[in-house]
Amino acid sequence: MTATQDQAEAGRGRWLLVIVSTAGASSTLRVHAWRRLRSLGGLYLQQAVCLLPERPETTRAVNRLLARVRHEGGEGRVLRISIADQDEEDAIIAGFQHERADEYREVISRVPAFLDEIAMERAKGRATYTEVEESDADLERLRTWLGRIRARDYFGAPQAHEAQAAVERCAAALAQFEAEALAAEAPEPATPAKPAGRRLRAIRGE
């Protein structure tokens, strides 16, 4: 059994059905609830109803969200359920994997632009600390983005490995670019030449 299959099997039978209604509450609360559930990787079955695998981290996050929703005038419930129909559960897990696959592909799609930018700066002879710093910030954003996707990839979408490899290519390219910038801006000091040997002349006493 593959790691992806292991992850899918581990999530079976334990689900959180989350129902949130913000009717009469602020639009800010509605947006917050939607964004929070999406950031957790919730699979929306219909408007205001989404599904998450029951894990300690998802349970804590959902409980905190519902506490805020109720405090600010909305309504929310979470039901712990199991899905008896294996085909239906397989379809739901496939839905989670499909959404994560789309997100991984979005990360991968940003990699060529990152590599092209480094290649362009190198071609222009602009291997400088400033350019390295800008590229480093871009790489950190890619890493953070990928990390968030992996955190909500409960069932191991196969594209995870491809996305990780793509970001590592960016890191390798940046490391090489940084080495070039260091060589250009802080070259190694030249080794001082050894002084020529002196011939000692014998001084004859007068």
Contacts of residue 52, defined as CB under 8 A and 6 or more positions apart, other chains included, come to 15, 16, 18, 37, 40, 41, 42, 43, 58, 62
Beta pairing, strands 75-81 & 15-21: antiparallel
- CA separation for the pair 69, 171 (Å, rounded): 41
pTM, to two decimals: 0.81
Residue where the block lists tokens 């789309």: 102
Q: Contacts for 69-73 with beta carbons within 8 Å, 24 or more apart? A: 69/20, 69/22, 69/25, 69/29, 69/33, 72/25, 72/26, 72/29, 73/22, 73/24, 73/25, 73/26, 73/29
- CA separation for the pair 94, 86 (Å, rounded): 12
- CA separation for the pair 21, 29 (Å, rounded): 10
- CA separation for the pair 115, 106 (Å, rounded): 15
Is the same domain home to 53 and 102?
no
Does 197 fall in a domain?
A: no
CATH number assigned to the domain comprising residue 31: 3.30.70.240
Per-residue model confidence as pLDDT tens digits over 110-167: 999 999 999 999 888 888 889 999 999 999 999 999 999 999 999 999 999 999 999 9
The reported pLDDT for the residue numbered 206 is: 43
Quote the domain boundaries for residue 167: 89-185
Considering 39, 67, 82, which residue would you say is the last residue of a domain?
A: 82
Is the same domain home to 120 and 176?
yes
Which stretches in the chain have pLDDT values below 70? 1-12, 186-206
Could you give the number of structural domains in the chain?
2
How far apart, in Å, do the first and last CA atoms of the chain sit? 100
Does 59 fall in a domain?
A: yes
Considering 60, 82, 104, which residue would you say is the last residue of a domain?
A: 82
Query: Dihedrals φ, ψ of 76, to 5°?
Result: -155, 145
Is the same domain home to 56 and 128?
no
Is the same domain home to 77 and 112?
no
Is the same domain home to 138 and 169?
yes
- CA separation for the pair 159, 164 (Å, rounded): 9
